Structure 1
Amino acid sequence: MPRASWADSITPYLDRTEAQIQEFTLDNGMKFIVLERHEAPIISFMTYADAGGANEPPGKTGVAHFLEHLAFKGTPRIGTTNYEAEAPLLEQLNDLHEQIRQAQADGDEARVKELQENFRAVQQQASEYVVQNEFGQIVEQYGGVGLNATTSADATRYFYSFPANKLELWMSLESERFLEPVFREFYEEQDVILEERRLGTDNSAIGSLVEEFLLTAFSVHPYRQPVIGHEADIRNLTPKDTWEFYETYYVPNNLTVAIVGDVKLSQVQDLAQTYFGRYEAGPTPPEVQDVEPPQEETRDVEVRFPSQPLYLEGYHRPARTDADNAAYELLVALLSDGRTSRLYQSLVEQEQVALNAQGLNGFPGDKFPNLLLFYAVTAPNHSLDEVQTLLRQELDQMRQQTVSRDDLERVKTQAKARLLRSLNSNSGMASLLAEYQAKTGDWHNLFREIQAIDAVTANDIRRLAQETFTPENRTIGKLLPS
């Protein structure tokens, strides 16, 4: 489809959709964004906490992700057969845990053994009151689908969909789990997360390299911290640490809810006031203060692992709110989006030095200045040096030559098509509305994306390549066979 006809066809759709979206804010500061879509009797919900790995205090990495796990454990009424009997046991477990840590610090092994036996006995008592996954069972019983949550460097998201006649049930469940969370099975979940880290980082070639790569690429900004958390930090986290993070960041003015589907705004407003209006307003959470200084020389890191060699190369770029954000997206798309991209054609198809070659934008997050990241897995009998040479040639070509109109139009079309596919899905729309509100300060910016993509020129691409792909802005990561 020619450029003019594409723009003519989608602009009215975007304008109509944007005009249909409504918003309101409760007195406690909690924001709701609502899009009525009555085509099917389904509603998708997104609760977006503007708190992720980058917000964690030093020495307490992983606490945002830990809290995400605990948010499914229930409340005084969900997840337990008798909270009055369970609650003192949970307090007793916390006291015993602190005593164990003190005895370990004192080197009193006999005392440690005695306390650990007591701890296991109380833990067994507490477990007898637990109703496993009752929150999820309720959601499933009433037709809910897609119940899940994710923690990233930038945010924590909780989402699922319900039949249209279960709006009030969602309001009740979601408000209660953040109004009165109970951190039951804290120590069992601690073991689960430690195992998750072992599998995804410590025993993973890629996970190990990425963790070291971020520690190298960022010197001060908390994007250098792993979202899963450092092992020692996970082990040392306490319910008190998690509660402090919850009280700081899960205040209503730091939560955004997006609701898309077969709903009426008036009903959403009434129910939101009834259920979420119970939340007390809290102080504005602290902003991330650390600013990454400009990189002044190439940095590199090597990790040895019994694995196929892997190459990473990253370059610093500004945050998502930068005026050139769309141009950065298209720059990476030209290099690595699909089998027609330059990296795939050069490294995989023509020279066959890599099994795969791709790029990522906004790594590990994009709320703050972040990285363009390129990676390639070497093909058998080829080296990381060969991969590096060819990758660098493609980056240099972007610096030296102006991209053709046809190539630029192709990636623009692909980018707009991806965005439109997300907007057509209730869950995708809910996710994007909440994200743009939290990250850019206004969900309306979502509907400016098409214009931003269209406005990018070939000169913009070349200018950014020249500014970005410099030796002093480069971080290299190599995974070498042990």
Structure 2
Amino acid sequence: MRPLLPILLAALSLQAQGPRLAEVQERRLSNGIRVLLVERRDLAAFHAAMVLQGGRAEEPSALAGANDLVARALFGQTRPEDLDAAKGPGSMDALLQEEEGILESLRQEGLRRRKDPASTSQAPALEAALQNLRRALKARSSAAPLADLYAARGGRQTASASADALLVQTELPAGAFEFWCRTEVQRLSILQLSRFSEARAALAAELRAQGPQGLALLRGAALPGHPYGRDLADHLPALEAMRRSDLRAWARQAFRPDRLALVLVGGIGMETALPLIERTFGALPAMGGGEDPLLPEIPADLGDRRIQASLGGTSTLVVGWRIPARAHRDHLALRMAAQLLGAGPSGRLAQRLVRQKGLAQGVEIGLDVPGGRLPGLLMASLAPAGGKTLAELEAALHTEILRLQQEPIPTDEWQRALTQLDVDQLRIQDEPGALARTLGLAWAEAGDWRQADLELQRLRNLGPETVQAAARAWLKPSHRTTLWLQPGTDEGQDPLEIETARVLKALAANRIEDLAQREHMVSEGLRQLRMLSLEERRRTLQLLTAQLPPEKR
């Protein structure tokens, strides 16, 4: 990677026209797969980003977490057993099917025992069968670190799920390009998911351990009823009930070739890469361009919404404004507004609320939370300085938003923001992995990889007045959701009320998707229950608990 000084000098030299992304060659295979290639002849390696469009937003509720499980169970590691296509008795596939059956029997046994604790338990016999089976699976698996086929060739692979895409990134020597093509096609064809059970258990454990999260609360209140507002922790029972066969069936439909893009950056040329890609990825069967899921639309003008929560830790103010999708004409202006507000130490909020007024000890700005393909959020998160209140901090934040909307933007501040965007763009060009990721996500979110290049060029043609007009149109109270996170514990609180609140929240989660309405229902229910006698409250709690499914009692 180049040192910082040359990058800064390059940015300054390109002030007039701005940097452009490296030349991208594009091809489309007959089955619909897009291929983007940026040749870097000075590199002895290549970086590949495999982008599967859709992401968490398109998961059905019954399969919430599917993309995260695929990222963990299918990608990330590449061992021989992941590519074993054998079928029949004794094969890896047969053993995994048997494991699925035992795990489902154990889950059903747990539910049965909750209903009838006095009945004879079949769990010990099932656990013993599972242990024997897992010993057989372990004997078929490769445990040595270099058993990973990519690591053995000096490479690596990572996979991550986002709201809009599943992104798989691989780095290998250029000489291993054909091996990568054949390996990934074999992986997509077989969908072995050999690590499914451990991936599902690990994800469920992480969700339980993290507890309620402030960002999830804000998304749920700001984007009610929309997949962008979904909290995976609310779908734990469905996640734990998901079977390997369910995930495989979903993946075969979701990962259509026409929704797959391959982005290649490095020491390979199109004349070498394309024939190999056509023989391998081009052999994946086209699926006729199935219909994309229909997702609900949320009006931005939902009204000023507020929630409060005590999650422990430190006080935090989180404010989100509903903004349009990345392809909308106002999105670029809002990107510049976010840059002016929160571009690191030089941003307005850091300068005025942290340094000058001492109201905040930290500021973070997020754009397109949790994704950009659909309308999402521009989010500001601020931690109050010692002795300052959330109310003071919120008032100061709203003042800065009004100043951005109404007062002329100084020329030097505008130029600093543009220069920072130039530097960020040059950093992306300098790092093959970042460039591949940027091109792939531009396609997944905006529908066109060229957006990664065009957006910065168009930003230079925007005037400050355009940014202010967009800020007035979108960063207004009717688009706003405010979350106060306050430190607090349950010490000293009535244990009966704690349990009643838990049951009410669980009932509300099943019936009300709008988090703000859910919070209101719980608080109003607790208020009314406080008017009852202790015995009446206990009986009411029993009646409410009986309405919960067994796994949530």
Give the TM-score normalised by the residue count of structure 2.
Answer: 0.80
Cα distance change, pair 164–351 in 1 and its aligned pair in 2 (3 A): same
CA distance in 2 between partners of 1:195 and 1:359 (Å): 29
SS where residue 380 of structure 2 aligns?
A: strand
Give distance in 2, aligned partners of 1:8 and 1:79: 51
Correspondence for 1:446: 452
Q: Does residue 319 of the first structure (1) align with residue 319 of the second (2)? A: no
What SS is found at the alignment partner of 1:297?
Answer: coil
For 1:392-411, what aligned pairs fall within 5 Å after superposition? 392-411=398-417
| CA displacement, residues 379-423 of structure 1 (integer Å, 9 cap, x when unaligned) | 222221121111111111112212122211211121122112202
Aligned to 2:194: 184
Cα deviation, residue 80, structure 1: 6.9
- Which of 187, 191, 197 in structure 1 is aligned with 2:207? 197
Which amino acid is 1:275 matched to?
T
Measure how far apart 1:127 and its partner are.
2.3
Amino acid at match of 2:405: R
1:118 corresponds, among 104, 119, 129, to 129
The secondary structure found in structure 1 opposite 2:183 is helix
Change (3 A) 1:170 1:135: farther
The aligned counterpart of 2:162 is 152
Superposition map of 1:12-411 within 5 A? 14=21, 17-18=22-23, 21-72=24-75, 77-78=81-82, 84-107=90-113, 110-132=121-143, 137-145=148-156, 147-199=157-209, 201-202=210-211, 208-226=213-231, 230-282=235-287, 283-411=289-417
Q: Does the 8 Å CA contact 1:61/1:226 hold for their aligned counterparts?
A: no
- Provide the rounded CA distance (Å) in 2 between the counterparts of 1:454 and 1:87: 55
> 1:47, 1:258 within 8 Å by CA — same for their partners in 2?
yes
* Structure 2 CA distance for partners of 1:412 and 1:70, relative to 1, 3 Å: same
Q: Deviations over 1:284-323 (max 9, x none)?
A: 3523421113333211222212211111001010000011
Separation in 2, partners of 1:133, 1:438: 36
Q: Name the amino acid aligned to 1:44.
A: H
**AA paired with 1:6?**
L
Q: Which amino acid aligns with 1:266?
A: E
Task: Give, in whole Å, the separation in 2 of the partners of 1:332 and 1:216.
Answer: 21
| Structure 2: distance between partners of 1:446 and 1:78 | 34
Please tell me whether the aligned partners of residues 316 and 372 of structure 1 are also in contact (alpha carbons under 8 angstroms): yes
Residue 480 (structure 1) aligned with residue 486 (structure 2): yes
In the superposition, relative to structure 1, how do residues 5 and 67 fare at CA in structure 2: closer, same or farther (>3 Å)?
A: closer
For 1:431 and 1:45, the matched residues in 2 are separated by 9
Question: Aligned equivalents of 1:388 and 1:177: distance in 2?
Answer: 50
Structure 2 unaligned residues grouped into runs of 5+: 1-8, 114-118, 489-553
> What TM-score, normalized to structure 1?
0.91
Q: For the Cα contact (< 8 Å) 2:315–2:383, is it kept in 1?
A: yes
Distance 1:345 1:4 in 2: 23
Which has the higher Rg, Structure 1 or Structure 2? 2
Q: Distance in 2 between matches of 1:379 and 1:134?
A: 46
Q: Structure 1 residues 2 and 461, CA, compared in 2 at 3 Å: closer, same or farther?
A: farther
| Whole-angstrom CA distance in 2 between matches of 1:453 and 1:188 | 46
Distance change >3 Å, CA 324–CA 294, structure 1 → 2: closer
**Structure 1 residue matching 2:271: 3-state secondary structure:** helix
Quick one: structure 1 residues 185 and 43, their matched pair in 2 at CA, closer, same or farther if it must change by over 3 Å?
closer
After superposition, the Cα gap between the structure-2 partners of 1:217 and 1:109, relative to the gap in structure 1 and judged at 3 Å, is farther
Alpha-carbon distance between aligned partners in 2 of 1:154 and 1:3, rounded to the nearest angstrom: 30
CA distance in 2, matches of 1:434, 1:227: 25
Kindly indicate whether the alpha-carbon contact (under 8 Å) linking 1:103 and 1:109 is maintained by their aligned counterparts in 2. no
Kept in 2, the 8 Å contact 1:65–1:227? The answer is no
- CA distance in 1 between partners of 2:188 and 2:304 (Å): 44
CA distance in 2, matches of 1:76, 1:161: 19
- 1:227 CA displacement: 5.8
Contact persistence 2:50–2:263 (CA under 8 A):
yes
Q: 1:411 to 1:168 in 2, by over 3 A?
A: same
Give the conservation status (yes or no) of the 8 Å contact 1:300–1:477.
yes
The whole-number CA distance in structure 2 between the counterparts of 1:211 and 1:236 is 22
* Structure 2 residue identity aligned to 1:259: L
Distance 2:41 2:263 in 1: 16
**What is the deviation of 1:43?**
0.9
Quote how far apart the aligned CAs of 1:158 are: 0.5
Indicate the RMSD between aligned Cα atoms, in angstroms: 2.5
Quick one: which amino acid aligns to residue 22 of structure 1? Q
Amino acid across the alignment from 1:96 = I
Return 396-405 or 303-312, whichever deviates more.
396-405
Equivalent AA in structure 1 for residue 134 of structure 2: Q
Q: Secondary structure at the match of 1:377?
A: strand
Count of residue pairs brought into register by the alignment: 471
Moved more, 45-54 or 294-303: 294-303
Cα separation, 2, equivalents of 1:453 and 1:29: 32
For the residue of structure 1 that corresponds to 2:409, the secondary structure is: coil
Opposite residue 456 of structure 2, the aligned amino acid is I
